[in-house]
Homo-oligomer: A and B are copies of this chain.
Amino acid sequence: MKRNPDQTRQSLLEAAFGEIHRHGFQAASIGQILSDTGLTKGALYHHFPDKKALGLAVIDDVIRPRFTAWHLDPIRTSPFPLAALRAVIVSRRDEVDAAYIALGCPINNLMQEMSPLDEGFRAALTALVNEWQETLVAGLRYAQTTGELRDGVDPAQAALFIVSSIWGCIGVAKSLQSLETYRACLTQLVNYLDTLKGGTSCP
């Protein structure tokens, strides 16, 4: 049998991500991850000391890169951060499928489940969220200097509300298991974003 430790580790991470996404961390079954990958406990516990380390590695090596690519890089690189944010949200609204809605946002799921229970998870996930929020704040601030975002909007509070709304949307949609609700809800958020544009004079 050919060996490939890196790929072994990677496939363990992918399978763990899927299992955690489907059942949450606590209910995620080591046995299921192993049968998904065709591996055994020897492989898993060689690469990870215990289940918690596996979970944290999933956050660092699977969730974080995807999230950064999807939600952070576009805001950071665009000369029009507000428009970029709007585009990200619109694309999420239009492209996400029912299966994703059924399971919900992996980050949100993990935070909801683990934040009250484990400090390690809380710290890792909070770091991600803070990065998100800081990216939004920086983007909004910059948008304000270019006039893309109107004055009178507090970037920090707006960023908080945006984060909260996005999680609210996906939370409600997951709760109701309804893709339509998700889209309607995000549409409302897009409307809110449009009220932040420069040129208008409304609160």
Contact = CB atoms under 8 A, between A and B. Distances in A.
Interface stretch (A12-20, A31-39, A162-170): A162-170
Number of contact residues on A: which range applies? 35 or more
Nearest to A171: B167
Interface in A122-168: 122, 125-126, 129, 157, 160-161, 163-168
A115 B172 contact: no
B24 A115 contact: no
A26 interface: yes
A111 B175 contact: yes
A174 B104 contact: no
Interchain residue pairs A-B with the least CB separation, the first 7: A168-B168, A202-B202, A164-B168, A111-B175, A161-B188, A164-B172, A167-B168
